[in-house]
Amino acid sequence: MSQTVTKKLMLFFPKCECEKPIIYHLVKDHNLIVNVFRAKVTPEEEGYLALDVTGTEEDIQKGMDFVKTFNVSINTTGKGITVDEDHCTHCGHCITHCPTGALHIADMATREVIFTESKCIECMGCIRVCPYNACASAF
Amino acid sequence: MKTYEQINNRIESGKAVVLTADEIIDYVEKKGLAAAAKEVDVVTTATFGPMCSSGCVLNFGHSKPKIRMSEAWVQDVLVYTGLAAVDVYLGATQLRHNDPANMDHPGEFRYGGAHVMEDLVAGKTLQLFALSYGTDCYPLREIRTYFTINDLNQAIMLNPRNCYQNYNVAVNDSDRTIYTYMGTLEPKRKNANYCSAGQLSPLLNDPYYETIGVGTRVWLAGAHGHVYAEGTQHAGGGSRTPEGIPKGGSGTLALTADMKQMSKEFVRGTSFRGYGVSLALGVGIPIPILNEDVLKRTCISDREILAPVVDYSHDYPQNTGKVLCHVSYEQLRTGEIEVEGKKVAVGSLSSYYKALEIAHLLADEIKRGDFRLAEPIAYLPKDTKMRPLVAREKPS
Ligand code: SF4
Ligand code: SF4
């Protein structure tokens, strides 16, 4: 059996694709384990979905090919939450509000705050507390 | 013993020995106090954090015909016009017109006076809208126009209070989340926030105000400004540790500088959810090493500086004066403190990272001979206490 991997993805569903059970097919037909962090349908009926998929590289690839047939765009860098490096002052206020340590102090001497995207579960905690407006959500 | 003049001569000849307030600690330990005091000319201190009592004076110049502004808004943020015709004062915490504030609690406070200040320094085009009652000498009744900082005659930052010597560590003992100027505090003492650069902070390196006084030249967001008065709420007479470090707020500085010389990364509008708007500002202050005593005090380390832990759900708002305990900045920087036997996760509001950057920028400027020190023309009081506001009956 080949190794399973976990990938963080952000999917954008244009208006017409919102009602299709795409995730169901990812699980059922492509053997993927899906962990949805955050989903949103805008008033314009466009949809956003931030999720982890776990499976073999091959299954993930097939799943992605399947998703693409629906005109859904896939962002494999998973940028649902962004921390603007130019705006972050490394104050450290977000640290105690980030449940996973995605935002953490990288260097105790300079106290630089680093955002490790792969650890982010998109709880939006940092967006609520960052006084400097450095954290943002793509949706 | 060195004089300001001797130090300035060394700065001018490019020979000055300058270290930051964190570098000096190890340096003195290695070299010994006496030798280091001979060698070192200047120690640079710095801080970067929210400072609510900040603002600026703007002069717009005169329109044709002229106006005596009686009400005015910059980017829809109300400015104070009780000055001369086209002078206004823009306060950092002023909210934008129609901001819902805390109507839908907790409010977001996305934009206010401090953000206008940031945009101004960043060179953005801003809107001015002003009204007037009209006079014979100033007939215009209304103006709406657009300007950048370069169009203004003056844009002078004028902050009544910056650089608190020491500050509270805020916790929340209630059972609901509270939203304060010390950030969001989770219930049941789940997190704590502090706000000081600790061992880098200006007045903690000169606890008795021996070199920082009225007239001291300071680095304010990249511009060269000065201390123009003691800051509001300056209370130098509070209780101190044996090293002279105040155990609470204590000293403050009133600072001013030309905003046209500032850089935008050190003038930052901040939004505190449920509380309001504040200005985060970068300040650097050089300490001339006049003698061994002055040097010794700059060697203060986070371990020796204690901050009071205060409950912001009750004791702070009700002004009870109660302090839960004192913790050192060394403990705070580990990310966890212990308060009455309970471990509390710690976050910060002021940026040590930025403060360190500023201390180095200032040190480099001094080494290059671009920043000269100024001797104070008056010293800050060391014996004053903070007075409360008493709600009195009208005297008969
Ligand atoms: S609270 Fe905002 S500015 Fe401060 S470290 Fe976190 S992301 Fe950066
Ligand atoms: S969204 Fe949540 S998990 Fe992600 S960085 Fe922000 S606080 Fe951390």
Q: Which CATH class is domain A4-75?
A: alpha beta
List the single range of A14-28, B56-70, B123-137 with lowest mean pLDDT: A14-28
Task: List, for residues B186-236, the tens digit of each pLDDT value.
Answer: 999 999 999 999 999 999 999 999 999 999 999 999 999 999 999 999 999
Question: Ligand 2 pocket: which residues have CB below 6 Å?
Answer: A 81, 97-100, 102-103, 120-126
pTM of the entire predicted model: 0.93
Is A98:A126 a contact under the CB 8 Å cutoff? Answer: yes
State residue A26's pLDDT score.
86
Contact A131 B280 (CB under 8 A): yes
**Distance (Å, whole) CA B170 – CA B191:** 8
Q: What angle do CA B272, B273, B274 make, to 5 degrees?
A: 110
Answer whether B143's CB lies under 8 Å from B128's CB. Answer: yes
CA B257 – ligand 1 centroid, Å: 27
> Do A81-137 and A4-75 have the same topology in CATH?
yes
Instruction: Name which of B49, B271, B352 is nearest A133 (Cβ-Cβ).
Output: B271
Tokens 């013993």, located at residue: B1
Q: What pLDDT is stored for residue B24 in this prediction?
A: 98
What is the domain partition of chain B in residue ranges?
4-48+160-367, 55-157
When the pLDDT of each residue in chain B is averaged and rounded to a whole number, the result is 96
* B325 catalytic residue (yes or no): no
CA distance B202 to B210: 12
Range name among A16-20, A98-102, B288-292 with the lowest pLDDT average: A16-20
pLDDT score of B80: 98
Task: Tell me if B40 sits within 8 A of B10, measured CB to CB.
Answer: no
pLDDT above 70: residue B364 = yes
Q: Strands B306-311 and B169-171, how do they pair?
A: parallel
Ligand 1 atom with minimal separation from the A87 CA: 3
- Tokens 């390196």, residue? B205
User: Which pLDDT belongs to residue A51?
Assistant: 87
pLDDT digits (tens, 9 = 90+) for A62-79: 988 888 888 888 887 767
CA-nearest residue, atom 4 of ligand 2: A120
One-letter amino acid at A85 equals: E
Q: Name the residue of A52, A105, A124 to mutate for ligand 2: max ligand atoms within 8 A of Cβ.
A: A124
Of A82-86, B84-88, B350-354, the range with the lowest mean pLDDT is: A82-86
How much is the pLDDT for B1? 87
Assess whether pLDDT exceeds 90 at residue B114. Answer: yes
CATH 3.30.70.20 is the classification of domain A81-137: yes
The alpha carbon of residue A100 is apart from the nearest alpha carbon of chain B, in Å, by: 14
Average pLDDT over residues B255-272: 97
State the DSSP string of A44-84: TS-EEEEEEEEEEHHHHHHHHHHHHTTT-EEETT-TTEEE-
pLDDT at residue number A110? 92
In percent, how much of chain B has pLDDT > 90? 97
How far away, in angstroms, is A80 Cα from ligand 2 center?
10
Q: Show residues of chain B in contact with A96, CB under 8 Å.
A: 186, 190-193, 345-347
Residue B261 Rama label (left phi>0; alpha psi -120 to 50; beta): alpha
B-chain CB neighbours of A95 within 8 Å are 335, 345, 347-348
Alpha-carbon distances, residue B366 vs A127, B25, B265, B285, B287 (angstroms): 39, 19, 20, 11, 11
User: In the A/B pair of chains, how many CB contacts fall below 8 A?
Assistant: 74
Q: Across-strand partners of B268? A: B280
In angstroms, the CA B264 to CA B276 distance is: 21
Cβ contacts of B130 within 8 Å, gap of 6 or more:
B67, B69, B71, B72, B73, B81, B142, B143, B144
Angle in degrees, 0-180, between the axes of helices A22-30 and A57-68, rounded to the nearest 10: 150
Tell me the pLDDT band of A23, cut-offs 50, 70 and 90: confident
Looking at chain B, which residue has its C-alpha nearest residue A127?
Answer: B273
Q: Where are the domains of chain A?
A: 4-75, 81-137
How far CA B341 is from CA of A87, B303, B345, in Å, comes to: 37, 20, 13
Instruction: Give residue A33's pLDDT.
Output: 92
State residue A41's pLDDT score. Answer: 83
pLDDT band at A22 (very low <50, low <70, confident <90, very high): confident
- The beta-carbon neighbor of B271 closest among A105, A110, A131 is A131
The alpha carbon of A81 and the centre of ligand 2 are apart by a number of angstroms equal to 8
CB distance B336 to A86 below 8 Å: no
Residue B245 CB partners (closer than 8 Å, separation 6+):
B166, B204, B207, B300, B304, B305, B306
The per-type count for chain A, helices as H runs and strands as E runs, is 3, 8
Pairwise CA distance, residues B150 & B123, whole Å: 8
Q: What is the pLDDT of residue A21?
A: 84
Q: How many C-beta neighbours within 10 Å does residue B293 have?
A: 12
End-to-end CA distance of chain A: 37
Q: What is the mean pLDDT of residues B33-44?
A: 97
Q: Which residue minimizes the CA distance to atom 2 of ligand 2? A: A123
Task: Output the CA angle B379-B384-B387, nearest 5 degrees.
Answer: 140
Spatial neighbors of A89 by CB under 8 A, at least 6 apart, are A132, A134, B48, B268, B280, B351, B353, B354
- The confidence score (pLDDT) of residue B33 equals 97
Looking at residue A78, its pLDDT comes to 65
Classify B23 in phi/psi space as left (phi over 0), alpha (psi -120 to 50) or beta.
alpha
What pLDDT, on the 0 to 100 scale, is given for residue A68?
Answer: 86
Predicted pLDDT at B349:
95
List the catalytic residue out of B52, B137, B195, B299: B137
pLDDT of residue A1: 57
As for the ipTM of the complex, it is: 0.91
Of residues A93, A108, A128, nearest to B349 (C-beta):
A93
Around ligand 1, the residues with Cβ closer than 6 Å are A 83, 88-94, 103, 113, 126, 130, 132, 134-135
For the CA of A91, the closest atom of ligand 1 is 4
Does the pLDDT of residue B125 top 90, yes or no?
yes
Highest mean pLDDT among A2-11, A74-83, B303-312: B303-312
Residue B387 gets which letter from DSSP?
P
Distance from CA of B50 to the nearest CA of A (A): 9
Mean pLDDT, chain A, integer? 88
Distance CA B166, CA B202 (A): 10
Token pair recorded at residue A90: 């490394």
